[in-house]
Amino acid sequence: MPIASLFLYFILFLVLELVYFKIADRFNIIDKPNHRSSHTSVTIRGGGIIFPIAVLVYALISGFQSPYFVIGLLAISTISLLDDILTLNNKVRLSLHLTSVLLLFFQWDLFSLNWYWVLTALIFVIATINAYNFMDGINGITGGYSLLTIGTLYYINQNLVSFTSAELLLIVGLSLLVFNFFNFRKKARCFAGDVGSVSIAFIIVFFIGQLIITSQNLSYILLLLAYGTDTAFTVLFRKIRGENIFEAHRSHFYQYLSNQLKYAHILVSALYIVAQLLINVLLISLINETMIYTLLLFLAFIATYLSLRFNLEGKNRLLVAYDTHRSQM
């Protein structure tokens, strides 16, 4: 794609983002701090709407390639935007999420495979969307982490396995650059909102699914290892402590670093991005080796993560119920 075209797309997305800010101001689409927030000031919510808009722009220009994916993305983005504004009934929201995921499976032609692949894909997609939503809590983390992932996928597409449209990857990357301009800073102008975190998760899952199906290599799941690890072990620790895992909380490791240790948001976000960058570099360098190396990479990261959490947070905070812990103090 010519540099001039990339520049025009960037300007278009920048203008559309600013238009959304005007609309959000007009209709009071804002995020007010609460007891589980990692921010302290009122900020525009839903800035991540630029992600599905970017895909829609590409679809209109390219003749609606991957139509099931685009329709599913628009459906899940619309319901997420409405949830940002109105707080919808969970049954309505989840039914639209499931419909969108099934459309994604049609796009992948997944129903031609054995049922256990469909079940595996369902778990992967739902888990990834939820992980992205859970992890979207501090400035820069969603935009920065996603930009790294899209950049890595672009490198793989150009140099290792051609699995998708390079133009679409670039356009999504440009939308992330625009969002990061307003979010990856000490005082964010906007947050992604559910529309942003859910839609970019859906987009990234689409690309990684294409990559896995084309390459027949499940190792590419590790492109989301940092997010997946923090989400999975946070849920596990909360379950061990006897907490309701469906209730709002501030138990993620990135939240502990931001809220308890008072690390700057952009520093914590940068730490997660750098950790995933190292994983991606090692994954790409080992991708043609036997699976044992990928497994060792996975286990090494898990061990490092757990070591950091137990050393910084302590066993009691991670494993002991809050009421019990408080009674022992």
- Helix pair angle (115-135, 90-108), 10° resolution: 130
- Percentage of residues of the chain with pLDDT beyond 70: 95
DSSP 61-95: HHT-SSHHHHHHHHHHHHHHHHHHHH---HHHHHH
Residue 248 — pLDDT band, cuts 50, 70, 90?
A: confident
How does pLDDT run across 195-243, given as a tens digit for each residue?
A: 999 999 999 999 999 999 999 999 999 999 999 999 999 999 999 999 9
Q: Where are the domains of the chain?
A: 3-327
- pLDDT tens by residue, 64-83: 889 999 999 999 999 999 98
Q: What is the pLDDT of residues 83-136, one digit of tens each?
A: 888 877 888 889 999 999 999 999 999 999 899 999 999 999 999 999 999 999
What lies within 8 Å, CB to CB, of 279 at 6+ separation is 222, 223, 225, 226, 297, 301
Q: Which residue has the tokens 């051609």?
A: 162
> pLDDT-derived band of residue 328, with 50, 70 and 90 as boundaries?
very low
- pLDDT at position 41, please? 64
Q: Would the CA dihedral through 120, 155, 167, 54 be positive or negative?
A: positive
pLDDT of residue 329: 40
Name which of 316, 84, 310, 59 is nearest 197 in CA terms.
84
CB 267 within 8 A of CB 254: no
Tokens 């992948």 correspond to: 108
Strand pairing partners for 169? none
In Å, what is the CA distance from 2 to each residue of 165, 167, 178, 274? Answer: 15, 10, 19, 29
Do 257 and 268 meet the contact criterion of CB atoms below 8 Å apart?
A: yes
Q: pLDDT tens, 142-160?
A: 999 999 999 999 999 999 9
Contact criterion met (CB below 8 Å) for 48 and 195: yes
